[in-house]
Structure 1
Amino acid sequence: MTEVAAQLPRVLIVDDSRMVRASLSKQIRDKFDVREEADGEAGWQALLLDPTVEVVISDIGMPRLDGFGLLQRIRGSRLSRINSLPVLIISGEDEDEARTKAQTLGATDFITKGTPRVELIARIEALVKLAQTRRELEESREQLVRRNRGDVSVMVVQVDHYDELCTNFGHSVGQLIHRKLSKLLSAKVRKEDTIAHLAEGQFAVISPSADLDACGAFALRLRRAIETIVMTYKEHRIRVSLTIGLASAHGDPNLSLEELLQLAASRVSEGTMLGGNRVVSEAGEVTPDNVGRFSRLAVSLDHALTQIRSGSKEEARKRLREIVYTMMPLMEFIDSEFHVGLPLAELAEKAQITALDLHTATATASQWSGTQWRG
């Protein structure tokens, strides 16, 4: 048992109520190795002495040092392993003022003590994955990039007017939108990507082996997908839009993950100031007209095969040119290995793909290796 527990991610629970600590621990102990402390000061000392803690869950009202004070110490620490820790503030009441203050001080997430077990575990797991990704990138970033044969890019995804939605329709509606976006992201990202909750209505997607063009194309598809969702609350119809900021380590291998997140977040702010419902990168707003050519054309071959097998050939036919483009590097490789004389030039001509297109596809194929985003 001890060996199994030691392999689980360690979560520090800081709360002055023994019953609350016991309840939280009971809910999550099958997934996490739990350490408990009774106040903020004890929690702070635990963090200084225990480098294995990956996530902090803290109450607000506590003796000696409250949750806000503990959060300030964590974010102000000179130790990078401490100041970058994900902190989940947990409160007995759903108070907007407390939530706003926690976010201002740098809380990663905020939930109430009545949050269902499934959601609580999902949020902690997302924070653990964020902490592990940060540590891996910071400790051996060059090896990670080399292993993934490409860049590391970050998207910060923000629900437009999230606070206003919560004020007008209640925080339960805001949380529902938050969960819908979380499920949508989980369904569309690649298996090697990391999704992290940064705040209510805000997520980060950390993507190895993905450049800004690819991120921009994915962000545009994500924005279109969320626009199709219409929620009904009483007599109101609620439409949701996203502003997405992009940042990439391309050209500057010294950029840390924290710096990439800050850059992407600053571009979300730029997009919000321009009215929201935008995708913004270092070059300005990303649109279908200026996103990279390869990203515009690339398609999911798995999706195309599923359409064909299910009898929806017309849908695949509509994107036949893009399918040929995406498959061309693979077919060139097959032809070079088996020397069967595939009529690639004739196929490219039929699909109206230029030599420049083929050069771009071949040069980029080794980076992607069949791992296109879904959707």
Structure 2
Amino acid sequence: MSDEVKEALPKVLIVDDSRMVRASIVRHLRDRFQVREEVDGEAGWEALVIDPEIQLVITDIGMPRLDGYGLLERIRSSKLSRVHDLPVVVISGEEDRESREKAYKLGANDFITKGIGATELLARIESLSRLAQTSRELEQSRAALAAQSPVDPTTGLATGAYLNWHAEQEMALAKRRGGDGRGAKTEISTMVVEIDHYDQLVQWHGQHVAQLVTRKLSKILATKVRKEDTVAQLAPDQFAVLSPSTDLVGCCAFALRLQRAIENLVMTYRDERIRISVTAGVACSSVDDVQTVSQLIGLAVQRAEQGRAAGGNKVVADQGEVGREFVERVFRQAVSIDHALLQLKAGATDEVIERLPEVVATLLPLLELLESRIHCGLPLDVLGQHASTAAAETYDPRRTSI
């Protein structure tokens, strides 16, 4: 076989501490595949990181330094898509149902015994190799389509490229409005949401269950944001929400409602109840005084990481962790009609309802003037009574709407 033809063959990584086993597998595959050999999981992992040509992995289970299960876990938790999506075949010295089930749960594509016949081994490896090649081609097509479309065809959310483009447009608009001489200040807020303990979720329930959880969260986000908001998936466990014309408090209020809804969510898979929580990092263009989209999203990512490091299930803003008391305190301050209107646009209706007595009290002089001029029958007595008698009502923390 010429070197040119050999280099065109797909490359398989064989990881086994037995030289004889590696030699046996190589003998069966060398006419159809390029082969790379490593003696344990740690060496195999290093090979995967530095060698982008590897397209399939065959690994033993029992090995020094890092066993096959550990190698499989690293592969499936890798942030590199070329590594994360590699087909992995686990090979064992004997048929063991427990080992087989564990391997599949960790994300193995196939499980074979070392006594398998050459013909069957080759057929199964070739089948996985062809499937992987087709998946790569589809992914390349999807990436090409996504580069030209604002919507990711897989998630149904905005693409990362569109999120950045749209955010740049909104930032430019905010700067223009900020300097229009009318005192108006347009704000942009970003929320980055991460699924807590995602790696543990993969380890306990498998990659496929983790993907179902991710899909559920993406649907919740897509259906709960405003039309002018943009949602994009940044990583398997991470989403970004861009909210134009929304201040820090409004974004934090939405993050808290989302957090509470996820806490109350119970998913069932094969009669097993799965609960998750999320951590959100929030950044605002005016509060954080940032000029670029990358800075805004970067701050939100950092704050989400801070919340995750502190145990998760938190909302973190510029001053640290944010709770309901923060939102309530801000809304109890001197009322601003502009602020209330922004909250309505942001979907924070509950927060505005809590301040209706103060809103009415603020607007009452204007309403009285309107009534004196146009006599339209405004119920001033009722409004005045509402403003005076309902002002003592307090926030109800039991509200769980999102």
Q: What band does the TM-score fall into relative to the shorter chain?
A: 0.5 to 0.7
Q: Work out which of the residue numbers 154, 161, 169 in structure 2 matches 1:136.
A: 169
Structure 1 residues 188 and 260, CA, compared in 2 at 3 Å: closer, same or farther? same
* Structure-1 separation of matches of 2:163 and 2:256: 24
In the alignment, which residue of structure 2 is the partner of 1:348? 387
In the alignment, which residue of structure 2 is the partner of 1:177? 213
1:200 and 2:236 matched = yes
Aligned residues: 252
* Structure-2 separation of matches of 1:293 and 1:200: 35
Contact residue 103 and residue 199 of structure 1 kept, 8 A: no
* Structure-2 separation of matches of 1:221 and 1:276: 16
* Structure-2 separation of matches of 1:304 and 1:178: 25
Q: Work out which of the residue numbers 273, 281, 287 in structure 2 matches 1:237.
A: 273
If you compute each CA radius of gyration, which structure gives the higher value, 1 or 2? 2
Q: Which runs of 5+ in 1 are unaligned?
A: 1-15, 17-60, 68-93, 106-110, 306-315, 358-373
1:286 and 2:329 matched = no
* Structure-2 separation of matches of 1:334 and 1:239: 49
Q: Work out which of the residue numbers 190, 215, 224 in structure 2 matches 1:154.
A: 190
Q: Deviations over 1:163-214 (max 9, x none)?
A: 2212221222112111211111122212211111111121111111212111
- If the length of structure 1 is used for normalisation, what is the TM-score? 0.55
Contact residue 137 and residue 256 of structure 1 kept, 8 A: no
CA RMSD of aligned residues (A): 4.5
Q: Tell me by how many angstroms 1:268 deviates.
A: 1.0
Q: Deviations over 1:204-256 (max 9, x none)?
A: 11111212111111111110001111112224211010101111111455431
* Structure-1 separation of matches of 2:366 and 2:231: 33
Letter in 2 for 1:352: A
Bigger relative CO (Cα 8 Å, ≥ 6 apart): 1
Q: Work out which of the residue numbers 204, 207, 212 in structure 2 matches 1:168.
A: 204
Letter in 1 for 2:280: I
Aligned counterparts, 1:67-216, within 5 A: 97=75, 100-102=78-80, 120=153, 122-123=155-156, 125-137=158-170, 141-143=174-176, 149-216=185-252
* Structure-1 separation of matches of 2:53 and 2:291: 34
Q: Tell me by how many angstroms 1:257 deviates.
A: 1.1
Contact residue 123 and residue 197 of structure 1 kept, 8 A: no
Letter in 1 for 2:293: L
Letter in 2 for 1:132: W
Structure 1 residues 244 and 101, CA, compared in 2 at 3 Å: closer, same or farther? closer
Q: Identity of counterpart residues, as a percentage?
A: 36
Q: Tell me by how many angstroms 1:131 deviates.
A: 3.2
Q: Deviations over 1:24-80 (max 9, x none)?
A: xxxxxxxxxxxxxxxxxxxxxxxxxxxxxxxxxxxxx9xxx989xxxxxxxxxxxxx
* Structure-2 separation of matches of 1:300 and 1:102: 40
Q: Which runs of 5+ in 2 are unaligned?
A: 1-7, 9-47, 55-71, 84-131, 143-150, 395-400
Letter in 2 for 1:120: P
